């Protein structure tokens, strides 16, 4: 059965029309050394055997773990209608249409997404959409440079390390990116250092285009966003807030504390934490920056007969028209995922979203108490929402051993922030509304057992180590 669109006969006719004798001749301009070498793939296999092999590979995934891993991607309960509606055939061409107004349903779905998110972030304009939170954050940084005609951006070190890496990649072409350090100790430990920010902004020779901070920050802590925004604006810079959308049901939205741009990861809105994505980049701005925001914008209008109609608007900023001078050429519309977010938000509604955020915070408070009783205390004293860092001696080894106990103990902070000594023995853990009491108890018991064995091993030497671990079990 042929799966390809062209038969051998089709190909021969096309080659004859072109006056060449093989497809390879079309690639003659590419030097031999740069051409793709043949892929090292095994031969075809019968479907039954292939399915069995793939199932065996999939079986190596650990889906049985009690997970406390967040760090930018969060588990939530997704109402069954989200996936069911996504399966409808009408959405299979949800990708940005290039003759847009003929696809009113698709445009309406994008309009709904933009309207829902605009309400959530309390800003005027939302574009649909971006690859992920990291790409959206990097685009926000570029927007501040275009809008202010300055070439230097400050990013808080408490912004997700992957987002900062992506920013650095986007800024590698000649723009400057400086990091604002964290407060080392005291009541504000782990949040953006405002005094350092003020110093970085004061360099008159290197004016700052934008200041980027996250709420909650990567360590789960709440940042003084109003203050950060005031400092940014005081030196003529724009203020970018990196947000987690569920948190906005209970925290002040970016528009309320003067942010000019909001960026963030839309995955918590009805999208499962799939390995490696796909994700959904949220990007929003004030009306003043509408011409700088990359991505699709859909507006509502009326047609010649006065009926409600949707249009793709301000398209001239975009790559299909403006080519190399487009607002962005690293841009896509994650339309199906934006649709998932819209269905999720419309299904659970504003009160439901508040419940999700509040329950996550309540579960996290219980997690904090259970871990503290087990001997793993928080590293930072400041307020958090549903994610926080705990101190666990020999964190990396404990994390590895807890997997054997069926527990995914969050993220080893030393792996992602190796230059922060205060986080060297830190685990970043989170809870959401799907975190159960049983999971929390299992985690706390596992930590208690590991810490007991660690103490004994530290005082009596390693000879007794395995016996003590056994006893603790």
Partner 1 sequence: MVPPELRYTKDHEWVRVEGDEATVGITEYAAGQLGDIVFVELPEVGKTLDQFATFGVVESVKAVSDLFAPLSGSIVAANDALAGSPELVNSDPYGEGWMVRITLSAPDEVDELLDAAGYDALIAAG
Which residue number, 162 or 291, has a Cβ lying nearer to partner 1?
Answer: 291
Quick one: 193 or 260, whose CB is closer to partner 1?
260
Whole-number Å distance between alpha carbons of 275 and 327: 30
Q: Are 144 and 306 in contact (CB under 8 A)?
A: no
Q: For residues 13 and 206, which CB has a smaller minimum distance to partner 1 in the complex?
A: 206
Smallest separation, CB 316 to partner 1 (Å): 4
Residue 291 vs 366, nearer CB to partner 1: 291
Minimum distance between the CB of residue 150 and partner 1, rounded to whole angstroms?
11
Least distance from partner 1 to the Cβ atom of residue 108, Å: 22
Give the nearest distance from C-beta 299 to partner 1 in angstroms. Answer: 13
Name the phi and psi angles at 264, rounded to 5.
180, 175
The sign of the dihedral angle between the CA atoms of 43, 46, 47, 48 is negative
Shortest Cβ 314–partner 1 spacing (Å): 8
From the CB of 209, what's the least distance to partner 1, in Å?
14
CB of 366 to partner 1, least distance (A): 53
Nearer to partner 1, 150 or 391 (CB): 150
Among residues 235 and 319, whose Cβ is nearest to partner 1? 319
Nearest approach, Cβ of 329 to partner 1 (angstroms)?
Answer: 14
Residue 327 or residue 389: which is nearer to partner 1 going by CB? 327
- Please, what is the minimum distance in Å from the beta carbon of residue 325 to partner 1? 7
Closer residue to partner 1 (CB): 88 or 149: 149
Q: Name which of 75 and 317 has its Cβ closer to partner 1.
A: 317
Q: How many CB atoms lie within 10 A of CB 359?
A: 17
Q: Which is nearer to partner 1, 52 or 321 (CB)?
A: 321
DSSP state of 367: H
| SS3 per-residue string spanning the chain | CCCCCCCHHHHHHHHHHHCCCCHHHHHCCCCHHHCCCCCCCCCCCCHHHHHHHHHHHHCCCCCCCEECCCCCCCCCCCCHHHHHHHCCHHHHHCCCCCCHHHCHHHHHHHHHHHHHHHHHHCCCEEEEEECCHHHHHHHHHHHHHHHHCCCEEEEECCCCHHHHHHHHHHHCCCCEEEEECECCCCCCCCCECHHHHHHHHCCCCCCCCEEEEEECCCCCECCCHHHHHHHHHHCCCEEEEEECHHHHHCCCCHHHHCCCEEEEECCCCCCCCCCCCCCCEEEEECHHHCCCCCCECEEEEECCCCCEEEEECCHHHCHHHHHHHCCCCCCCCCHHHHHHHHHHHHHHHHHHHHHHHHHHHHHHHHHHHHHHHHCCCECCCCCECCEEEEECCCHHHHHHHHHHCCEECCEEHHHHCCCCHHHCCEEEEECCCCCCHHHHHHHHHHHHHHHHHHHHHHHHCHHHHHHHHHHHC
> Residue numbers of the site for partner 1 (CB under 8 A)?
149, 291, 316-317, 321-322, 325
| Minimum distance from residue 426 beta carbon to partner 1 (Å) | 46
Q: Of the candidates 281, 93, 250, 66, which has an alpha carbon nearest to the alpha carbon of residue 170? A: 281
Alpha-carbon distance of 384 to 437, in angstroms, equals: 20
| CB closer to partner 1, 226 vs 313 | 313
CB of 322 to partner 1, least distance (A): 5
């Amino acid at each position: 059965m042929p799966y390809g669109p062209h038969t051998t006969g089709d190909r021969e006719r096309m080659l004859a029309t072109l006056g060449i004798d093989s497809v390879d001749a079309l690639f003659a301009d590419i030097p031999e050394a740069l051409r793709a070498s043949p892929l090292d793939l095994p031969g075809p296999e019968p479907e039954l055997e292939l399915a069995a092999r793939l199932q065996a590979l999939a079986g190596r995934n650990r889906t049985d773990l009690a997970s406390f891993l967040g760090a930018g991607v969060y588990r939530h309960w997704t109402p069954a209608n989200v996936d069911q509606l996504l399966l409808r055939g009408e959405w299979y061409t949800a990708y940005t249409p290039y003759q847009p107004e003929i696809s009113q349903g698709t445009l309406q779905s994008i309009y709904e997404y933009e309207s829902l998110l605009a309400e959530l972030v309390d800003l005027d304009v939302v574009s649909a959409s971006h690859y992920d939170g990291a790409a959206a954050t990097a685009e926000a940084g570029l927007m501040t440079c275009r809008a202010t005609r300055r070439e230097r951006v400050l990013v808080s070190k408490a912004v997700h390390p992957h987002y900062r890496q992506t920013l650095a990649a986007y800024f590698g072409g000649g723009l400057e990116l400086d990091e604002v350090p964290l407060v080392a100790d005291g009541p504000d430990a782990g949040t953006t250092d405002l005094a350092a920010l003020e110093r970085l902004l004061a360099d008159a020779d290197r004016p700052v285009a934008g200041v980027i901070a996250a709420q909650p920050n990567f360590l789960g802590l709440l940042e003084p966003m109003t203050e950060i925004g005031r400092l940014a604006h005081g030196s003529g810079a724009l203020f970018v807030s990196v947000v987690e959308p569920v948190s906005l049901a209970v925290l002040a939205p970016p528009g309320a504390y003067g942010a000019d741009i909001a960026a963030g990861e839309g995955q918590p809105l009805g999208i499962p934490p799939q390995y490696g994505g796909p994700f959904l980049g949220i990007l929003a701005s004030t009306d003043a920056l509408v011409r700088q925001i990359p991505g699709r914008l859909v507006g509502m209008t009326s047609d010649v007969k006065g009926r409600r109609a949707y249009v793709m608007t301000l398209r001239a900023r975009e790559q299909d028209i403006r080519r190399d001078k487009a607002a962005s050429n690293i841009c896509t519309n994650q339309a199906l995922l934006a649709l998932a977010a819209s269905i999720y938000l419309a299904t659970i509604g504003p009160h439901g979203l508040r419940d999700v955020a509040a329950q996550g915070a309540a579960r996290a408070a219980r997690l904090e108490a259970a871990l503290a009783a087990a001997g793993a205390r928080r590293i930072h004293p400041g307020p958090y929402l549903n994610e926080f860092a705990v101190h666990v001696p020999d964190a990396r080894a404990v994390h590895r051993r807890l997997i054997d106990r069926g527990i995914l103990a969050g993220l080893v902070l030393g792996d992602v922030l190796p230059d922060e000594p205060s986080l060297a023995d830190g685990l970043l853990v989170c809870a959401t509304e799907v975190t159960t009491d049983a999971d929390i108890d299992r985690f706390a018991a596992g930590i208690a057992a590991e810490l007991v064995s660690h103490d004994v091993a530290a005082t009596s030497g390693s000879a007794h180590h395995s016996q003590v671990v056994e006893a603790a079990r």
